Amino acid sequence: MNSKLKFIFSRRSIRKYQDKAISAAMITDLLEAAMAAPSAVAKDPWHFIVVQSRETLKKIAGVLPSAQMLLQAPAAFIVCGDINKANLQKESYLLQDLSAAVENILIAANTLGLGTCWLGVHPREERLAGIRELFALPDHIIPMCGIALGWPAEQPEARTRYNQERVHQEKW
């Protein structure tokens, strides 16, 4: 692993958090990083719901079975996209744009010393419906994922999952 890229290799899914709040300034830093992501035809279809209420974090954990770390995490984002703003109103472009924004959040949070965990919502119908209902989302807003945020109470080792067998030179 190239040590200059440690900020990427040390980004790991964190599921245990300290009981410590995240400042409003850091939340803004993460959202600025998210919105610096590339977007097809610069449509920027993203929307972010910032959640810090313990009650709401608990409700999200009730909707997303793999999100039990939200019972400890001090904050979360729900990442959504406006299908009407997506390039050609295509879901595929929307998901690509949102994924780039999410990766920026994950890397920025790691660089700032925060831990994160990407929480899948899309394309599971029961999760989409649960998040839509919980946040009263309009029909044209598609929830893609959640992101648990907090100060890590665990430190997994940096790693890469590089696999030479997945690399093809010039042809398959």
State the pLDDT at residue 45. Answer: 98
pLDDT at position 34 is: 98
pLDDT digits (tens, 9 = 90+) for 56-73: 999 999 999 999 999 999
What phi, psi does 22 have (nearest 5°)?
A: -105, 130
Q: What is the pLDDT of residues 98-119, one digit of tens each?
A: 999 999 999 999 999 999 999 9
The pLDDT value given to residue 48: 99
pLDDT on residue 133: 98
Ranges of residues in the chain with a pLDDT under 70 are none
Q: Which helix (H) or strand (E) holds 68?
A: none
Give the pLDDT score at 40.
Answer: 98
Q: What does the pLDDT read at residue 124?
A: 98
Strands 75-82 and 46-51: antiparallel
Mean pLDDT score across all residues of the chain: 98
pLDDT score at 25: 98
- Quick one: pLDDT at residue 134? 98
Which CATH homologous superfamily contains domain 13-154? NADH Oxidase (3.40.109.10)
Model confidence pTM above 0.95:
yes
What is the per-residue pLDDT for 109? 98
Domain ranges of the chain: 13-154
Give the pairing type, strands 46-51 and 141-150. unpaired
Residue 39 amino acid letter? S
DSSP conformational letter for 41: G
- Give the whole-angstrom CA distance, residue 32 versus residue 60: 24
Please tell me the predicted confidence (pLDDT) of residue 43: 98
